[in-house]
Amino acid sequence: MELDLFVRYGPALLSGFGVTILCWIVGSLGGLVLGFALACLYRFGPRPLRWLIQAYVEVIRGTPFMIQLFILYFGGPHFGLLLTPVQAGIASFIIYGSPYFAEIFRSGFNAIPKGQIEAARCVGLSEGRILFRIILPQMLVPTTAPLTNFFIILTKETAILSVVTVPELLYETQTMASETFTFVEPFLVLSLFYWLMVIGTSWLGDKVERRVTRHLRRA
Amino acid sequence: MNFSFDVIWHNLPYMLAAARWTLLISVGGMAISLVWGVFLCAARISRGPFLSRIAALYISFFRGVPLLVQLLIFYYMLPHVGLDLPAVAAAILAVGMCSAAYTAEILRGALQTIPRGQTEAALALGIPTLSLWRRILVPQAIRIGLPSLTNELILLVKVSSLASVVGIGELTRISQNITGETYRPLEIYVAAAAIYFLINVILSALGRLAENRLLVG
Amino acid sequence: DMLSDIKAKGKIVAATEMHYAPFDILKDGEYQGICHDLFVEVAKELGVEAEFLDLPWQSILPGLEAGKFDFVNAPVTITAERMSRYNFTLPIGNATVALAKKAGDDSIAKPEDIAGKAVGSQKGSAQLEQLKAFSASLATPADVREYVNIDEALADLAAGRIQAVANSAPLMGYAAVQRPGLFEMVMPPFGEPKYFGWVAPGGEDAKTLIAAINDALIKMHEDGRLQAINEKWLGSNPDLPTTMPDVK
Amino acid sequence: MGDITTEQPIIEIRNLSKHFDDFEALRDITLDVHRSEVLCLIGPSGSGKSTLLRCINFLEAYDGGEVRLEGELIGWKSAGAPPRKPLSGEALRRQRQHIGMVFQQFNLWPHLTALENVAEALIHVKGLPKAEAMTKARAALAKVNLSDKEANFPANLSGGQQQRVAIARAIAMEPSVMLFDEPTSALDPELVGEVLGVMKQMAAEGMTMVVVTHEMGFAAHVADRVAFLEGGRLVTCAPPADIFGREPDDPRVNAFLKTYRERNVV
Amino acid sequence: MGDITTEQPIIEIRNLSKHFDDFEALRDITLDVHRSEVLCLIGPSGSGKSTLLRCINFLEAYDGGEVRLEGELIGWKSAGAPPRKPLSGEALRRQRQHIGMVFQQFNLWPHLTALENVAEALIHVKGLPKAEAMTKARAALAKVNLSDKEANFPANLSGGQQQRVAIARAIAMEPSVMLFDEPTSALDPELVGEVLGVMKQMAAEGMTMVVVTHEMGFAAHVADRVAFLEGGRLVTCAPPADIFGREPDDPRVNAFLKTYRERNVV
Ligand SMILES: Nc1ncnc2c1ncn2[C@@H]1O[C@H](COP(=O)(O)OP(=O)(O)OP(=O)(O)O)[C@@H](O)[C@H]1O
Ligand SMILES: Nc1ncnc2c1ncn2[C@@H]1O[C@H](COP(=O)(O)OP(=O)(O)OP(=O)(O)O)[C@@H](O)[C@H]1O
Ligand SMILES: [Mg+2]
Ligand SMILES: [Mg+2]
């Protein structure tokens, strides 16, 4: 292994890592919020809206991210939508993630016993308050793990942004790989950085889960 | 931009043939993911500190390392230690074992919503652990986790495209090849997306069907 | 050594990325192109059967080292750095850099016209280095953008984000032929002359194999087979050297 | 609604019916509950008592007849034959604020402590400041003898303690009508006595109560009237003296009470 | 275990104690239950009755003392001072097969129908063939008067019906000891009579029962002995006549029963 490689490409790799983290955090949090909104609309909205949301979920979830990004970035200009790589990357990230998040939250809704919501309605709590105070905290019990899963999956989907020249981590490691004709080192670097993100995400997921399952722990 | 359906039409047979690999790897991977995922989940929440730590480590590794690297390890590194798997087997195994880590976590999350009393009732009756899991816990965990499990299986279908790194001409790979020759990426990728969509929509429909069946009681 | 192993097996397994026209093409489910045709002839000369694998670039070199196949018959630009790690054959194609522009774009008539314009090229390619050197020599340098694959660079050219794409002359020419209404080649190629070669694993084991393949290539030079194959795919003869070119 | 005092019953139930698929859970129930009255519902298991309570605050959308609270139709936009349109969520919420309920299965919120369970609606429905709500919630828990367990999550409470939290949660809201579904099923006799005391006091303060119970002694002591349900029908509704008198008119009611009488002569 | 008839009590509880964090739920309980005996546990809400039952089949790992079934220590590998090692799952399972339990909260499996809830253990513990298990399960449901609801899921059953499914599930297994946690809390008086009948019959057939109950009438009629718990301690354990006699010795027990007596004189 050639250590001087890391010295030479260190700054570029770090900046790539920064871009990856930016796209990942903004994109996945955006997707999380959009997904939650979709799940709520699906649950409480009128029937036609539900069909619409389901169609959206099926289409976006059913097609590869690369192709969505491709259509947005390369197809967009033909319809007058000229986005920069990072803009396109983040926008497509939000869109791509939202149906997965929506489905995870939908499963969370199913896990709340009906009686608890009835009790909340009986004392006159508003639907919004019921959602955020009664449903959401308990919904997180079964969904924190899948949410963590998906955040982790999204860390790796950031790699696809390289095809539209977002200077993210994979893009920079490929520069290193192709300029130096090495392959083990770039993969190692890549894995290390992803692993850092994954460890961070798991740690946070664990914290959240501990918090939301507090009431289930027994003395 | 002139969108050419001819190009799609001409290349569709090759893409469909490639999709068969995608399907094979996906279905094989799913089987491993679901079965192995249940065991992993059981190990993860078991009281034995050893088992649960091993499972946690497994999950951390398979979620942490990019699947691409896992595949390269399975196919290119294992021969160095004398384990030479055929490409398809390596792909199915890698995809399934990786996905199992996610499946296990989904199930673990879902299991936490099953009131403890239900397990206690089973214990009090003397129901063996295996039956407890098979008849009481897993069905309910799957019921609650189904949308997330469907998510995971759909992701698995998509991620099967990485099998190209071990030389399998699955759908994404073949689409790229065709693009390289026709210089019509938009057409070919849209067609590929449509095929993925078809597979995934069927999967999703099955998921919803199962959900409606299980959402009783 | 490798050569005798291959002869004993009676076949040579070669990997390439079937995604670099006109050298490697997967058309209608069949592997074709210059590298295909040349290598089939080379295998004949070796007296073995050729078997081809399609692999994405990132797993070709790991695969070669893991012994999953014997040889890389993809066009790899010959550079000094790469020669220190692997064994290269004699040149099998011209890798000199050339430009493609959008069809009908009058603002670019010759390579120098890219001054100040956005030009895409493939990340890590030798052609990118050439383009950068060329751009630096212009009064206003070009805005050089790096793409992971050349496909995306061409797609961005079509989308209008960039005004030209630089890659090896054969590839640019082939793109213009395939999408005549969309792309057009800018003549002439520029920069230093560069060549593509094939790659065998590094080390002594592969030296005899390389020698045998080089012999076959020279023989094909002499009997005109090599020229005929190039004529078939390029419509012209690239005039390849029969000795290892000097690389810095 | 407000405080208009009239002779009109506070709850009017007219020809109420409810089906679950093919199963007829309630059939043609007509019943009035008057202001400040305590009405006990008794009847065999599965006779529709819980369902009737749940129809009163529209947790079950009844499919025939009417339920009115102070003259206002509950749940549906208009009286008359089905199909009817249900009220909007907001309108329903307004109606339900006047009706408290204690569930047979308690339905506590497991992620909130006993105190939080009680305080939640005080803060977010009544709009009390947090400190005041806590004081009020503590008072309600004290009424049911549970001050020492206010920080426990429901899973860490005994059955009777959970039931008392549910009672405290409902009474803290001071609704004008309370629906109790077997509010003492998990309580020991001593506590039953205390809860009874609380309920008597609430009745004296003018609260109207509908109480499902299997404790005949409870019904006999607390009720102004007792309604007997069976197989989804209202068999009789009369003052307790008539029902629990040695030989009530209705043979069915008599049979129902027989084993109870035998057993409770200690 | 088997059928050895000895004078040894079937359940021996010695100096049992159990803590939840700082809270002492059971303290130094010593109590024997004899073969074919019906022991009723009474006491205020939160006094530790459920916890005591749950310690008997080791659903709560008790932290001090011993519980023995036919002389065999339950749950722990060895008697003596903590820390002790719990038995393996398989050994525990074997012990628990002899002890049936009806839970205070029923704990039915929501994804199985009433019939499936009852048949499950017959198939997977007793190893009966499916058809036979179903027949047996149907018989158990019939005993608690629930034949018409066998296909319902728990969510579609009334409270009392759920409780009866829970009873049927436990008795179908014919264990040698049954632990009932308020088995009639959701039942109407008539059904209480019937369930009582079933229990009396089981007792006559030699089953040992420990019954937590708040129904003093029930305890007075069924129990061979009545144990009174308070604040985690065993206050007294005596035949019902001594406990329910007009003035029991213990003032605490007397106070506990006072309101009950007053109310049930109808
Ligand atoms: N969701 C449902 N689907 C089908 N049947 C139901 C449903 N809910 C209740 N039932 C049936 O309706 C009948 C009345 O139920 P309800 O809960 O009102 O009885 P109850 O009088 O409260 O009985 P208990 O005293 O046992 O609580 C029962 O026979 C029950 O099986
Ligand atoms: N997991 C727990 N954590 C903390 N405290 C607990 C826990 N479980 C029970 N307790 C406390 O232990 C005491 C005894 O509980 P237990 O359930 O045994 O009471 P009980 O006698 O069955 O009462 P009830 O008649 O109300 O059912 C109660 O005060 C309860 O709050
Ligand atoms: Mg009821
Ligand atoms: Mg209890």
pLDDT for residue D264? 59
Q: How many residues does chain B have?
A: 217
Q: From atom 31 of ligand 1, which residue's Cα is the shortest distance away? A: E157
For C155-192, the pLDDT digits (tens) are 889 888 899 999 998 888 888 888 888 899 898 888 88
Among A76, A77, A181, select the one facing C82 at the smallest CB separation: A181
Q: From atom 28 of ligand 1, which residue's Cα is the shortest distance away? A: D46
- Nearest-Cα distance to chain C for B116, in Å, is 49
Is the pLDDT score of E117 beyond 60? Answer: yes
Cα(D158) to ligand 2 centroid in Å equals 4
Q: Over range D36-55, report the average pLDDT.
A: 92
pLDDT for residue D248? 65
State the best of A122, A132, A141 to mutate against chain D, taking most chain D CBs within 10 Å: A122
Cross-chain residue pair E214–D186, CB shorter than 8 Å: yes
CATH 3.30.450.20 is the classification of domain A3-213: no
pLDDT for residue D83? 82
Give pLDDT < 50 ranges for chain A: none
- Nearest-Cα distance to chain E for A111, in Å, is 12
Q: Over range D67-75, report the average pLDDT.
A: 91
Q: Cis peptide before C22, with omega less than 30 degrees from 0?
A: yes
Please say whether the beta carbons of D251 and D259 come within 8 A. Answer: no
**Mean of all residue pLDDT scores within chain E:** 88
Q: Is B91 exposed, middle or buried (0-12, 13-18, 19+ CB in 10 A)?
A: buried
Q: Over range C229-234, report the average pLDDT.
A: 87
pLDDT for residue D131? 94
Buried b / exposed e over B99-117, threshold 16 CB at 10 Å, is: bbbbbbbbbbbbbbbbbeb
**Mean of all residue pLDDT scores within chain D:** 88
pLDDT for residue B173? 87
Q: Over range C75-81, report the average pLDDT.
A: 84
Q: Which residues surround ligand 3, an ion (CB under 5 A)?
A: D 50, 104; E 158-159
Cα A36 from Cα A23, distance rounded (Å): 19
Tell which residue, C134, C228, C114, C126, has the closest CA to residue C168. Answer: C126
- Nearest-Cα distance to chain C for A193, in Å, is 18
Instruction: Name the residue of E16, E17, E23 whose CB sits within 8 Å of the most ligand 2 atoms, as the mutation to test its pocket.
Output: E23
- Nearest-Cα distance to chain D for E188, in Å, is 5
Instruction: Name the residue of E19, E20, E52 whose CB sits within 8 Å of the most ligand 2 atoms, as the mutation to test its pocket.
Output: E20
Tell me the ipTM for this assembly. 0.89
Please say whether the beta carbons of E165 and E151 come within 8 A. Answer: no
pLDDT for residue A132? 93
Cα(E178) to ligand 2 centroid in Å equals 20
Is the pLDDT score of B106 beyond 90? Answer: yes
Cα(D38) to ligand 3 centroid in Å equals 18
Cα E186 from Cα B167, distance rounded (Å): 66
Q: Over range C106-135, report the average pLDDT.
A: 89
Whether the CB of E53 sits within 6 Å of ligand 2: no
Among D93, D109, D155, select the one facing A116 at the smallest CB separation: D109
Q: From atom 27 of ligand 1, which residue's Cα is the shortest distance away? A: E159
Whether the CB of E158 sits within 6 Å of ligand 1: yes
Cα E182 from Cα E257, distance rounded (Å): 17
Instruction: Name the residue of D17, D18, D20, D59 whose CB sits within 8 Å of the most ligand 1 atoms, as the mutation to test its pocket.
Output: D20
Q: Over range E64-74, report the average pLDDT.
A: 91
Please say whether the beta carbons of C183 and C100 come within 8 A. Answer: yes
Question: Per-residue DSSP letters for chain C?
Answer: -HHHHHHHHTEEEEEE-S-BTTTBEEETTEEESHHHHHHHHHHHHHTSEEEEEE--HHHHHHHHHHTSSSEEEEEEE--HHHHTTSEE-S--EE--EEEEEETT-TT-SSGGGGTTSEEEEETT-HHHHHHHHHHHHSSS--EEEEESSHHHHHHHHHHTS-SEEEEEHHHHHHHHHHSTTTEEEEEEEESS--EEEEEE-SSGGGHHHHHHHHHHHHHHHHHTHHHHHHHHHHSS-----SSPPP--
Please say whether the beta carbons of C136 and C191 come within 8 A. Answer: no
Residue numbers in A near E21 (CB within 8 A): 219
What's the order of all strands across the beta sheet hosting C164-168? C143-147, C118-122, C164-168, C97-102, C183-190
For D159-206, the pLDDT digits (tens) are 999 999 999 999 999 999 999 999 988 888 888 888 888 888 888 888
- Give the nearest chain D residue to A125 (CA atoms): D125
Cα E171 from Cα E202, distance rounded (Å): 9
Tell me if the pTM is above 0.95. no
Judged by a CB distance cut-off of 8 A, whether residue B179 touches chain C is yes
- What percentage of residues in chain C have a pLDDT greater than 70? 99
Q: Over range C197-220, report the average pLDDT.
A: 90
Closest approach atom of ligand 2 to CA E54: 18
Neighbours of chain E (3+ CB pairs under 8 A): A, B, D
Identity of the amino acid at D74: I
Cα A162 from Cα B111, distance rounded (Å): 38
Angle at B209 between CA B205 and CA B212, to 5 degrees: 140
Q: Over range D34-58, report the average pLDDT.
A: 92
Cross-chain residue pair B181–C65, CB shorter than 8 Å: no
Whether the CB of E22 sits within 6 Å of ligand 2: no
pLDDT for residue D79? 81
pLDDT for residue C187? 84
Cα(E159) to ligand 3 centroid in Å equals 5
Residues of chain A numbered 80-139 and touching chain B (CB < 8 Å): 100, 103-104, 106-107, 110-111
pLDDT for residue D139? 95
Q: From atom 22 of ligand 2, which residue's Cα is the shortest distance away? A: E50
Is the pLDDT score of E226 beyond 50? Answer: yes
Is the pLDDT score of E53 beyond 90? Answer: yes
pLDDT for residue A199? 93
Band the pLDDT of D263: cuts 50, 70, 90.
low
pLDDT for residue D2? 41
Q: How far is CA C51 from CA B113, C11, C43, E162, E235, in A?
A: 55, 7, 10, 70, 89
Is the pLDDT score of E160 beyond 60? Answer: yes
User: Which domains does chain B show, CATH number per domain?
Assistant: 5-216 (1.10.3720.10)
- What percentage of residues in chain A have a pLDDT greater than 90? 52
Judged by a CB distance cut-off of 8 A, whether residue B192 touches chain A is yes
Element housing B60 (H / E): helix B49-64
Residue numbers in B near E60 (CB within 8 A): none
**Three-state secondary structure string covering chain D:** CCCCCCCCCCEEEEEEEEEECCEEEEEEEEEEECCCCEEEEECCCCCCHHHHHHHHCCCCCCCEEEEEECCEECCECCCCCCCCCECCHHHHHHHHCCEEEECCCCCCCCCCCHHHHHHHHHHHCCCCCHHHHHHHHHHHHHHCCCHHHCCCCHHHCCHHHHHHHHHHHHHCCCCCEEEEECCCCCCCHHHHHHHHHHHHHHHHCCCEEEEECCCHHHHHHHCCEEEEEECCEEEEEECHHHHHCCCCCCHHHHHHHHHHHHHHCC
Please say whether the beta carbons of C155 and C149 come within 8 A. Answer: no
Strands C183-190, C97-102: pairing kind: antiparallel
Cross-chain residue pair B144–A107, CB shorter than 8 Å: yes
- Tell me which of D84 and B36 has the higher pLDDT: B36
Q: Over range C58-78, report the average pLDDT.
A: 83
